[in-house]
Amino acid sequence: MAGTNSKAKMITGGPAIILVEPQLGENIGTAARAMANFGLSELRVVNPRDGWPSEKAKNASAKADHVIDNAQIFDTVEEALSGLNLVYATTARPRDMFVSVSGPEAAMKNAREHVASGQNCGILFGRERTGLTNEEVALADEIVTFPVNPAFASLNIAQAVLLMSYEWMRTGNEAEPLQFEALTAPQARKEDLIGFFQHLEGALEAANFFRPPEKKAHMVSTLRALFQKARYSERDVTILRGVVGALEGRRTRNTPRRQAAEAQIADAKTDEPE
């Protein structure tokens, strides 16, 4: 089914769609087509196998040129999460992780709330055959699963993107506009959280915390998922990094980051009731 109205205003914006290591340009193109149908326009692609730009992607996008032409390409998932405050990871497999799980409708209603408050959201989609790794899922705030047939859960990338994009559009087209309370503080950007994770993990490595060594990857994923649950603000992350730095014994380094962390901690103490 096809049809366009050249006089209608193009709806854009919404959460960033992040495709992790897609194999075929056609899959990127059909995902872009699904996005454009339901008003999403920011496409981020991590390490596409067949390179970029891709004529196959553009041909498969059914003239969703505003999505394809402005797609951003990244080498790693961490880089692709830059500037985002809230991230969802889509997966069909059960995960042994302490990460909240929700359906597409609830996830996109929550995303609307964050976007309405001026925050940036993203949705992670995994590889065609293997999906997302546990380490990648641990970078997200929540997991999104689809209510599919348990005996046949076989969505391709474009179908998964279509379902999330549809729910995004639907949450903005209710008979009564959705009302959201303003959030008190923006969530920390993903690059700030990742920096904190790396700082903490480096300190724990120096303290010989990861024992036995073969369980380190699982322990790191669990720790990251644990910290993701709290939805820290930028101020929170600054304080946490100051705490880790103090535990490392960095008492002689009077860096701007340390000064900011000490000031934040002092402010937090003065806020406490006597």
Tell me: the pLDDT tens digits for 79-119?
A: 999 999 999 999 876 666 667 889 999 999 999 999 999 99
175 pLDDT higher than 50:
no
- 95 and 43: one domain? yes
- Of the pLDDT bands very low, low, confident and very high (cuts 50, 70, 90), residue 265 is low
Q: What average pLDDT is seen over the chain?
A: 86
In a domain, 196, yes or no: yes
In a domain, 9, yes or no: no
In a domain, 264, yes or no: yes
- 26 and 152: one domain? yes
Percentage of residues in the chain having pLDDT higher than 70: 82
| Per-position b or e across 79-114, b if 16+ CB within 10 A of its CB | bbbbebbbbbbbbeeebebebeeeebbebbbbbbbb
Q: Determine the pLDDT at residue 177.
A: 47
- 162 and 30: one domain? yes
Q: Determine the pLDDT at residue 7.
A: 67
Instruction: Give the pLDDT confidence of 119-150 residue by residue, as tens digits.
Output: 999 999 999 888 999 899 999 999 999 888 88
Q: Which of 51-55, 141-145, 169-173, 175-179 has the lowest mean pLDDT?
A: 175-179
- 163 and 211: one domain? no
In a domain, 178, yes or no: no
Give kind and range of the element (H or E) at residue 17. strand 16-20
174 pLDDT higher than 50:
no
- 105 and 195: one domain? no
Instruction: Please compute the mean of the pLDDT values over residues 38-46 and round it to a whole number.
Output: 96
- 242 and 203: one domain? yes
Q: Determine the pLDDT at residue 107.
A: 95
- 126 and 200: one domain? no
Residues in the chain: 274
Q: Determine the pLDDT at residue 150.
A: 81
In a domain, 177, yes or no: no
239 pLDDT higher than 90:
yes
- 86 and 222: one domain? no
Task: Judge if pTM exceeds 0.85.
Answer: no
Domain boundary among 171, 204, 222: 171
Alpha-carbon distance of 223 to 200, in angstroms, equals 10
Q: Determine the pLDDT at residue 8.
A: 76
Q: Determine the pLDDT at residue 44.
A: 98
Q: Determine the pLDDT at residue 26.
A: 96
Domain boundary among 136, 171, 206: 171
Instruction: Give the pLDDT confidence of 247-264 residue by residue, as tens digits.
Output: 888 654 555 655 666 666
Boundaries of domain holding 263: 190-270
Structural domain count, the chain: 2
Domain boundary among 103, 137, 171: 171
